[in-house]
Amino acid sequence: MTVLTFIAFTLLVAIISYYATRKTDESSADGYFLGGRSLTAGVIAGSLLLTNLSTEQIVGLNGSAYESGLSVMAWETLAAIAMVVTALFLLPRYLKGGLTTVPQFLAKRFDVTTKTITSGLFLTGYAVVLLPVILYSGSVALSGMFNVPDALGITETQSIWLCVFSIGIIGSIYAIFGGLKAVAVSDTINAIGLLIGGLLIPVFGLLAIGDGSITEGITTLTTSHPEKFKSMGGPTDPVPFHTIFTGMMLVQLFYWGTNQQIIQRALAAKNLKEGQKGLLLASFIKILGPIIVVLPGLIAYHMFSGNLSTVDQAYPALVAEVLPPVLLGFFAAVIFGAILSSFNSVLNSSVTLFGIDIYKQHINAEADEKLVVKRGKTFGIILAIAAMFIAPLIANAGSLFDYLQEINGIYSIPILTIIVVGFLTKRVPAIAAKIGLLSGSILYIISQFILQPHFVSKAVAEANANGITDAATLKAIESQAYFGLHYLDVMAILFLLNVAIMLLIGKFMPRKEAYVQEYTEQVEITPWSKAKPVGALVVIIVVSIYIYFR
């Protein structure tokens, strides 16, 4: 029954996606890379949410909540504010320029070399880290959910290889042969399933600990573990409260406003109104994100008395404990959709970046749109195959997930810096952007991968020499060893430093002519009349949540 339900829902998504996209002209760049610039608000919102939500986030954030409590909700709730900023400030400028990729703006604002460097940074991050990690984490989840080794009489390693190639091939079909619209439509359907399935887990969990009553379950949870319901994280928590005002918002703005994997959905909007509506609808739903990716971890902490061997077991253990068997196939299909969404979204964005920013720009400038799409698809196939072979070889993936946010700072903050300065100034030259990218990356690497480990190891060694072995005490010492700086603080410091460097260069070596963005008239850019009040409402709700759970 579980397998039949899984297959039925998965096929339903595929059939609907096919019929929704069969008339889209995918021989043109806009048709393939941006779905013909035809996406409406609902499709944009659904695709944004499911592209963001995948197994490493569902399992990882719930594991962090299991260990540290409600403070990790910042990764979800503050995303809503970043989407508001994107909708009101960045998207109008992107659509005015008729952009297909974010680096295209950098070519117009600075120069082609800046664009190429940025595209290369994106592609490197996607190819080396994101695609293999998504495949591996998704395969581990599905292999465990269906108990594939026992069901097929194969080893755990063989099961991972099988799942990796299954996800990779199906995801590639959507992303490479269907284009962005197929990805977006399948994402929307799966987003509905994920919201339903994701909400069922905490509902059944609260019913279980509340003896059949959700309200009793909430009361039991909050009274038994009040320390877990504090929105303001302490110095040793994954998200200390002060970092919300330093690097956290910068990371969120990069992810939701400049990351090609995400913003490509909004770039494909039929007009600015639909794009803003889609982003703001997604921001409202994102506020509810902690119900899916934080609350289950808190329920698991109560249900298993905090005795699980690893924190990442919290979500899978809770699902196995509370979800009725008849719903397991449906939920497995939803998780499968979430895995596919992240994989095919990154792959489609990689194809777009290569086709538009690399092949057309540097390999064959005379290529027509049909050839650009064809070469992009070829690159996508090669990239997908490479990721499928790399993914099963990833060892100790759990620790890698915790490391990803920190590693991404190598390129995320430098890219965000040059985009922000590019939009807000008119005479900062191209050389400033190149220096900003270079200095931001190098200084971050020196800080986080040379200086920080040195100070931490020195502090721990001194603590051990003084007979300090308590885990909590050592954790506190580690958090303060590097001048009390969290990696999010370092991001904020380097962002301000890079902005200052770029402005200083702009003062003494300004562009000869001020940059003026031209309106390409590819889409209507009349803003949604209710965008600002709706955005203000989102911000008020987020602030209210923090005040309530302070």
Range from 161-175, 211-225, 260-274, 492-506 carrying the lowest mean pLDDT: 161-175
Number of other CB atoms surrounding residue 152 within 10 Å: 12
| Contacts for 220 with CB less than 8 Å, ≥ 6 apart | 209, 210, 302
Give the pLDDT confidence score for residue 15 in this predicted structure. Answer: 63
Taking residues 408-422, report their average pLDDT.
Answer: 90
Which is nearest to 490 in space by CA: 240, 272, 295? 240
Q: Compare 472 and 25 and report the one with higher pLDDT.
A: 472
Is pLDDT larger for residue 14 or for residue 50?
50
Q: How far apart are CA 302 and CA 306, in angstroms?
A: 7
Q: Of 170-179, 318-327, 419-428, give the range with the top mean pLDDT.
A: 419-428
Q: Note the pLDDT of residue 156.
A: 79
Q: Name the E strands within 431-498.
A: none
Please state the φ and ψ torsions of residue 408, each to the nearest 5 degrees.
Answer: -60, -20
Residue 31 clears pLDDT 50, i.e. is over it? no
Q: Tell me what pLDDT residue 299 has.
A: 94
Q: What percentage of the chain reaches a pLDDT higher than 70?
A: 86
Residue 20 has pLDDT above 90, yes or no: no
**Residues recorded for the chain:** 550
Give the tens place of pLDDT for each residue, 303-344. 988 788 777 778 878 887 888 877 877 777 777 777 777 777
Give this prediction's pTM.
0.82
pLDDT digits (tens, 9 = 90+) for 70-102: 988 998 899 999 999 999 999 999 989 888 778
The helix/strand/coil state of 24 is coil
- What tokens were used for 483? 């001048």
Domains, the chain, in order of start with CATH, read 2-16+26-394+526-548 (1.20.1730.10), 407-518 (no CATH)
In contact, 348 and 184? CB cutoff 8 Å: no
- Amino acid residing at 397: A
Q: Which residues pair with 39 in a beta bridge?
A: 269
Both tokens assigned to 133: 């990690």
Q: Band the pLDDT of 185: cuts 50, 70, 90.
A: low
pLDDT at 138: 78
Angle between helices 272-287 and 41-52 (to 10 degrees): 40
Gap between the Cα atoms of 213 and 425, Å rounded: 57
Query: 96-100, 103-107, 181-185, 233-237: lowest mean pLDDT where?
Result: 181-185
Decide if pLDDT at 30 tops 50.
Answer: no
Tell me which residue of 189, 302, 307, 237 sits closest to 71, measured CA to CA.
Answer: 237
Q: How confident is the model at residue 186 (pLDDT cuts 50, 70, 90)?
A: low
346 pLDDT exceeds 90? no
